[in-house]
Amino acid sequence: MQFIDEATIHVKAGDGGDGSAAMRREDNVPRGGPSGGDGGDGGSVILVADTQLGTLLDFRYQRHYKAPRGENGRAKDQYGAAGDDLVLRVPVGTIVTDEESGDVVADLDTDGARAVVAQGGKGGKGNIHFKTPWNQAPRTAEPGTPGEQRTLRLELKLLADVGLLGYPNVGKSTFIASVSRAKPKIADYPFTTLVPNLGVVRLSDERSFVIADIPGLIAGAAEGAGLGHQFLRHVERCRALLHIVEDTFTTGPERSPLADFDVITGELARYAPELATTPQVVVLNKLDAGTQHGTVDELKAAFAGRGIELLTMSAATGEGVRDVLEALWRVISVKPRSRPA
């Protein structure tokens, strides 16, 4: 299934039905009088968060949604039926923004969360409401009011506890595949991951968390370079970031683990300054493949000079992976998930 995390739709709630201005015509009813019923209310447009959905793909193919209008009132004091609400299901983590004003309409961040994004119109009153001692046969009734309509921007921000960061091909996909049941594409060339992948990590029966593999970032990502800029929004809700670096022959002489770390951290700060304060666990991957820029101890010392504890692991062999997961748990177990504005 194609991963789509943005869509723009137009929603129109149903109009209210018109009230009736009918008069009685039955036999044996002296003087008749008004008998027009009220119009029914129009249906509203409602968005509901659903954990079974993981993409906004459906909203790319259909952009206009209209709820049914209410029925008009009828004679013999009969009220018109209300229009049914139009319920649209979206993935959990969808933020709904009014396109015109820029205001956030709803943040649907829990399963079953609901938001009325377009209110149905009210049905008009029939002439049975306008009878008075001075006007025994009113022939006026109210029209129904129009339903709301607006253009909405839907933006999906994945609800993950941990976001994986790093240059392309540092082993993020291998890591998430080794610690969860996620099955990302793994290959020995850059930008293997084209869309975010979610996996559930279970440390024990009581301890588990969701981890997201974000497509690799490169220098200039905050301004649109590479692929990762398309998915930086998905790390905004994370309680912790796992920053993976490596120092094998694929890194190249012009790069180093510390330089890569500085580049990615700088891109995060440029994209959203508050991300710079999100706790990071930094790990040197591909321990089994050796290093280019000094020994492991020398690399740890270089990071320690920045106040950063550099962990080590080999996602391919499993060495050190458990220590990394425990370090992540220590962070996320005490930090609530943020709710971006």
Task: Answer yes or no: is pLDDT of 39 > 80.
Answer: yes
CB 75 within 8 A of CB 36: yes
Instruction: Give the pLDDT confidence score for residue 187 in this predicted structure.
Output: 39
| The residue type at 164 | L
CATH code, domain carrying 288? 3.40.50.300
Sign of the Cα pseudo-torsion (273, 277, 279, 282, in order): positive
Instruction: Give the pLDDT confidence score for residue 182 in this predicted structure.
Output: 53
175 and 152 inside one domain: no
- 54 located within any domain: yes
DSSP assignments along 24-88, one per residue: ---TT-TT--B-PPPPPPPPPEEEEEETT----THHHH--EEEPPPPPPPBTTTBPPPPPPPEEE
187 and 293 inside one domain: yes
| The residue type at 122 | K
State which residues form the domain around 308. 162-332
pLDDT range class, residue 17, cuts 50, 70, 90: very high
Instruction: Give the pLDDT confidence score for residue 221 in this predicted structure.
Output: 41
- 304 located within any domain: yes
Across 2-6, 150-154, 158-162, 175-179, least confident range: 2-6
Burial class (CB in 10 A: 0-12, 13-18, 19+), 327: middle
- 64 located within any domain: yes
Q: Which tokens go with 174?
A: 């291998």
Instruction: Give the pLDDT confidence score for residue 93 in this predicted structure.
Output: 83
Task: Answer yes or no: is pLDDT of 65 > 80.
Answer: yes
CB 335 within 8 A of CB 281: no
- 110 located within any domain: yes
Across 195-204, 210-219, 263-272, 308-317, least confident range: 210-219
Nearest-angstrom CA–CA distance, 319 and 202? 17
Nearest to 244 by CA among 324, 180, 160: 324
pLDDT range class, residue 1, cuts 50, 70, 90: very low
- 19 located within any domain: yes
pLDDT range class, residue 185, cuts 50, 70, 90: very low
Helices 257-271, 296-304: axis angle to 10 degrees equals: 40
209 and 279 inside one domain: yes
DSSP assignments along 139-156, one per residue: ---PPPPPPPEEEEEEEE
Rounded (10°) CA dihedral 100, 106, 108, 114:
-110
CB 41 within 8 A of CB 16: yes
Task: Answer yes or no: is pLDDT of 284 > 90.
Answer: yes
Predicted TM-score (pTM) above 0.75: no
Among 132, 156, 180, residue at a domain's last position: 156
66 and 111 inside one domain: yes
Among 114, 140, 156, residue at a domain's last position: 156
199 and 247 inside one domain: yes
321 and 306 inside one domain: yes
- 338 located within any domain: no
Nearest to 78 by CA among 30, 38, 118: 38
Task: Answer yes or no: is pLDDT of 87 > 90.
Answer: yes
Tell me which of 222 and 240 has the higher pLDDT. Answer: 240
113 and 3 inside one domain: yes
Q: Which tokens go with 251?
A: 């890194």
Tell me which of 144 and 256 has the higher pLDDT. Answer: 144
Instruction: Give the pLDDT confidence score for residue 301 in this predicted structure.
Output: 93
Range 12-24 average pLDDT? 92
- 15 located within any domain: yes
The per-residue pLDDT for range 247-278, each reduced to its tens digit, is: 876 655 577 889 889 888 887 888 777 777 88
Percent of the chain with pLDDT over 70: 82
172 and 147 inside one domain: no
- 75 located within any domain: yes
Nearest-angstrom CA–CA distance, 163 and 332? 11
Instruction: Give the pLDDT confidence score for residue 27 in this predicted structure.
Output: 66
Nearest-angstrom CA–CA distance, 189 and 244? 16
115 and 176 inside one domain: no
Percent of the chain with pLDDT over 90: 37
107 and 1 inside one domain: yes
E strand intervals along 99-237:
104-108, 114-118, 149-156, 162-165, 197-202, 208-213
171 and 128 inside one domain: no
Instruction: Give the pLDDT confidence score for residue 230 in this predicted structure.
Output: 57
Q: Please, what is the average pLDDT of the chain?
A: 82
The per-residue pLDDT for range 285-323, each reduced to its tens digit, is: 988 877 777 788 999 999 999 899 999 999 889 999 999
Among 129, 156, 183, residue at a domain's last position: 156
235 and 100 inside one domain: no
CATH code, domain carrying 133? 2.70.210.12
DSSP H or E segment with residue 303:
helix 296-304
The total number of structural domains in the chain stands at: 2
Alpha-carbon 43 to chain mean position: 25
Which of 5-9, 121-125, 163-167, 214-218 has the highest mean predicted lDDT (pLDDT)?
121-125
